[in-house]
Amino acid sequence: MESKFNGDESGYYDNKDNFYINGSLKYKDDMEVGPILQHEHGHWFIFMTSSLGLLIRMCSKISITDNSKDLILEGLSKYYRRMNEEVATYTEMITYLMMNGREQFLRKVDYLKYNNKSYYKYYKKLSCRNILLSQSMILTYDKEKLKKLIDCLLLLGRDSFNIDILAFEIEKLDSLGEIQTLMSEDRFNFNPNRRFSELIKTLIYIESVFIYNKNQVQTKNVDSMEIVEYINIVKKMYPNNLFVKSKLISFKFNSLDNDWGIPNLDYSFPFLDIKGEKYEYSVPEFKNNPNELLDLTNINSIEFKAKGSFIFASVFLSDNKNYLYTYVDDELNGGFLLILQAIYKNKALLKFDDFYIFKYQNWSILLDSIPQMSYIISSKPLSSTMEDIIEHFHESEFMIHEMEGFDMLVVKRNKLYLLQPIVSQLSKALVSRLKGLNFKLVKSFEDEEQIRNEGNKLINGITLERKINKEDIIKDLKKKLNIL
């Protein structure tokens, strides 16, 4: 039977706090999936642990709604894409060798040569950069030595990205020509591709350890500056954007343990690409009078988001209309109580995208007052939500709901469900971890159909976010707001 999923793209990393894995891999064995996880982990590690990686991740978050620096960010990617793909593809191939053995590995190399020429080019290019990386050499390494090589290459990739951000002065770059001049004239200080080429030359194996000469280029670790200093640079890049600080204040340095070479699936998130599926979006109609919410009589659901001192209520009606109301999150919590009244009146569904509801000590009483179960629906990886799950749902009932192309952690406390999509390869370990924390595993919950529907809506939204044109969304938003 032909799969309904498009598996051409096994995974991707898009400068966020997690990497994405195609749901079609749920039906593959570990020998095939493991190397792909390693590939995406390689991209993720370099961006998550380096100074340039942190700066780009911050800019990427701002660029979701502000495209004024997209040309600069895209121009910059030209000078790091090659080395990034070389590290990711090469470590993927080493992992394939470790997991499948010499003969299968050689078949894989041959397959890439004729069927995926870009990946083959990345693998072959890095194989020729140092004799220790040549195919004839790595075929002589045992699994432990290959593992050490992966660790070293990831660190080397990270240091290629560990540039002096203050000296870089990205905020002063206004054209592709200026980027090109800087990356050429000061290539060993700021150009990750060229820095990587220099560092890889120094790779040696001594006393059972792979090492390289970090001093071959100037490096500045990600924590050589404070988070606020990074934010100030981004503010200079987007001088007309008033929301830079509020959007970036939650960024922090990532402390990773010594097993950085092993993919941590807590940082992964599933995505689906269904063959023939049409992904359409609609921009909500903005409402100026928030009190009008109580006049609506055909509300199906309200999606609640809190950003800084504001509450945003996306209201979905039975006639497929979509309204957006904005409230000030004041001390009296008037905005949230207004939303609860509308939910009660319409017997509608209330959904949160985070754990905001727990700011109310009487949250359980508030949710008991409305007819349906409420939902926290997470679009973030488990790494971002696990602490909150443990704190707010401790010892609650949970199950792993099998979906098409992914699994979903479902936790229930009183009249509140948490839905956390995960890659299926994480499920077994997660069950063991939660049981060890005294969570109670159950076989099912009453609201199975609703749970499944909400999970599918979320995953479809992840796919939609990638497929739609950001420029079109911004244009439609401006049109709705009458600011064109």
Pairing verdict, β 322-328 and 440-441: unpaired
Distances (CA, A) of 86 to 81, 104, 120, 307, 377: 9, 21, 10, 38, 36
Contact predicate 46/157, CB 8 Å = yes
Which among 336, 342, 332 is positioned nearest to 300, based on CA atoms?
A: 342
Beta strands in 123-212 (DSSP E): 204-206, 209-211
Between 65 and 368, name the one with better pLDDT.
368
Q: What share of the chain is helix, strand, coil (3-state, %, to 5)?
A: 55, 15, 30
Distances (CA, A) of 163 to 9, 196, 285: 31, 12, 44
Mean pLDDT of 322-345: 84
For 190, the token pair is 């700021």
Mean pLDDT of 156-181: 97
Q: Is 195 helix (H, G, I), strand (E, B) or coil?
A: helix
pLDDT at 1: 40
Q: Read off the pLDDT band of 345 (50, 70, 90).
A: very high
**Alpha carbons 164 and 146: distance in angstroms, whole number:** 31
**Alpha carbons 165 and 15: distance in angstroms, whole number:** 17
Q: What is the pLDDT of residues 188-228, one digit of tens each?
A: 999 999 999 999 999 999 999 999 999 999 999 999 999 99
Residue 325 has pLDDT above 80, yes or no: yes
Q: What is the CA radius of gyration of the chain?
A: 24
Lowest mean pLDDT among 101-105, 228-232, 251-255, 349-353: 251-255
For 178, the token pair is 């200026």
**Alpha carbons 214 and 200: distance in angstroms, whole number:** 10
**Alpha carbons 371 and 345: distance in angstroms, whole number:** 9
pLDDT at 94: 97
Distances (CA, A) of 244 to 1, 77, 189, 200: 49, 22, 27, 36
Answering whether pTM is above 0.85, one says: yes
Mean pLDDT of 402-406: 93
For 244, the token pair is 């830079």
Q: Which residues pair with 398 in a beta bridge?
A: 411, 441
Distances (CA, A) of 127 to 90, 136, 196: 8, 9, 14
CA atoms within 13 A on the CB side of 384: 21
pLDDT at 283: 78
Contact predicate 296/187, CB 8 Å = no
Residue 484 has pLDDT above 60, yes or no: no
pLDDT at 470: 59
Q: What is the pLDDT of residues 444-462, one digit of tens each?
A: 999 999 999 999 999 988 8
Q: Read off the pLDDT band of 309 (50, 70, 90).
A: confident
pLDDT at 78: 96
Class of residue 103 by CB neighbours under 10 A (exposed 0-12, middle 13-18, buried 19+): exposed
Angle at 15 between CA 12 and CA 20, to 5 degrees: 30
Single-letter amino acid, residue 405? G
- The distance from CA 228 to its chain's CA centroid, rounded to whole angstroms, is 22
Q: What is the pLDDT of residues 26-51, one digit of tens each?
A: 888 888 899 999 999 999 999 999 99
**Alpha carbons 423 and 408: distance in angstroms, whole number:** 8
Q: Is 381 helix (H, G, I), strand (E, B) or coil?
A: coil
**Alpha carbons 33 and 27: distance in angstroms, whole number:** 9
